Structure 1
Amino acid sequence: MPEKFPCINPHDLKTLKEGLNFLHVEELKNLCRQLLLPIEGKKGILVLRILHFVETGKVMNNPKLPLVSCAEKGKDCPLTPNSFILKGSYKNDLKTRVFFKKLIGDDFHFTAFGVDWIHNRWMEGNPPTYQEFADMWRAETKRRQEEGSIPKEEWAYINFTQRFIKKNPGTQRQGLIEAWEKERLKQKENVTKIMENFK
């Protein structure tokens, strides 16, 4: 294990950032184990944790959710526009979807950007109301329709397939799968080579 951080050059850091997004969650957890890092969290958190360690030598633990963002056990949390969306009571279920369709309209559907927005507000200790979520969802959906959207970096498969199909229109499914597997293997090899310095 290196003694001085950062011990990675800018080119390798950029290569590592890209490559980690191509790994499966279990592969990221294995890297965390090798580096003696916590393995809890979603893919994006695991990638950030590895990069943080590589750049600083410090362990990034899972941030704690502020109590103000959590529902009290046994307390009823009704679905009303002015009720807070709280961890432990909020669900992406049919009842909630029907409620949001009343607030937003029939075009409502659960989205990754919506889930991320709620989670970020929880982490800030500023849980939103259902109406605040509805307002954000409408505005963000409109913005994305007008300007488009870029998938998250950790969605490497989606990003790769969109770019590949754009460059290679008419590609058959099997060709796409083979190209993806080839690129994923290349990225995994890049990560493995760079991470040799951290054993």
Structure 2
Amino acid sequence: MATTDLKLEDSGSLPKPGPIGRIVRLSFGTLCLYYVVDLIGVSGDLIGSDGHIRSVVWNGLLIGLVLISYTVNIGFSRGWKKRPAFLSAGAFMALAAYGQVTQGVAETNALASSIWMWELYLFSHLGTACMISAAIATPGCELRAFHELYSRLSGNPTKEHFCPLGPLHPIDKWESSKR
């Protein structure tokens, strides 16, 4: 069951991904970074001629709200549960309400810019973590890839975290049982 709880394991506790797990991580990383490129493509023009925030900015919002808590908690070793998602959603709703009250429309440049920057960070972090994880075979969650890379460069062991979302943990477990 997917949980945002931080449950770090000792180094060497989780299986390293095999070829399939690494290809899946590479694919996820590519998708995230492709989305980042799309976001950068609209950076100077977040509001369309129809007065609405461009769809590319809206496209990542729901999945981003699902992923932000995992990214912050696992990626930064925090135990904040769903707070990052609630704070993000609350900030976006407050900006929309402020725009509605002050300008008569919820879809303002401030809201668009906030969502855009938030998504740019989130999907850049995820995409880069997935790419590093695919390259160095990070055990467990790809969000620990930066920690694993530092561990390998410094020689200091780091904690691991199983991947709570998606197919990665089951794939890694299955691949390690076949070795």
User: Could you say whether these structures have the same fold, taking a TM-score greater than 0.5 normalized by the shorter chain as the test?
Assistant: no
- Range class of TM-score, shorter chain: under 0.3
Larger radius of gyration, structure 1 or 2?
1
Higher relative contact order (CA 8 A, sep 6+): 2
TM-score w.r.t. length of structure 1: 0.24
TM-score w.r.t. length of structure 2: 0.26
Which structure has the highest helix share of the two?
A: 2
